[in-house]
Amino acid sequence: MSRIKEIGASDRKVINIRSATFKKYLADGREVPGQSYLQLDETFPEGAGFTIYRMEPESSSQPHEHTCHEQFYVIDGEVTDNDGYVYRAGDFVLLTIGTQHFSTTKTGATLVVFVREVERNL
């Protein structure tokens, strides 16, 4: 049996979302109030790949269209889509390519989001 190569310091990235610095979310060059994110993998363009997305209480995401499937997991809080569907902590969601929506939250929420491509603002 061959020996497995050790993981080098430059091969591992660990980010603690409780102490990390989040960036303000921008849409069309303007800050979206109450929205911030943490980019986990810089090999993707900003807003794509795995991100941690925070929504402050009483905030709303920008209306957008998915240019690929969007997958997200609700870590905490609740998020309501424009059609009234409520996503709760523990929900894993896949929205298909071409889906248009925006989300609001009364309580605030933290999501893990994965998209391959940057979404298109409407």
* pLDDT digit string, tens, across residues 70-79: 999 999 999 9
pLDDT at 46: 84
Name the residue ranges covered by the structural domains of the chain: 16-78+105-121
**Residue range 95-112: mean pLDDT, rounded:** 96
Q: Which residues contact 113 (CB under 8 A, 6 or more apart)?
A: 50, 51, 52, 53, 70, 71, 72
Model confidence band, residue 104 (pLDDT cutoffs 50, 70, 90): very high
Supply the pLDDT for residue 76: 97
Report the chain's mean pLDDT, rounded to a whole number: 92
pLDDT in tens, 6-59: 999 989 989 999 999 999 988 888 898 999 999 988 899 888 899 999 999 999
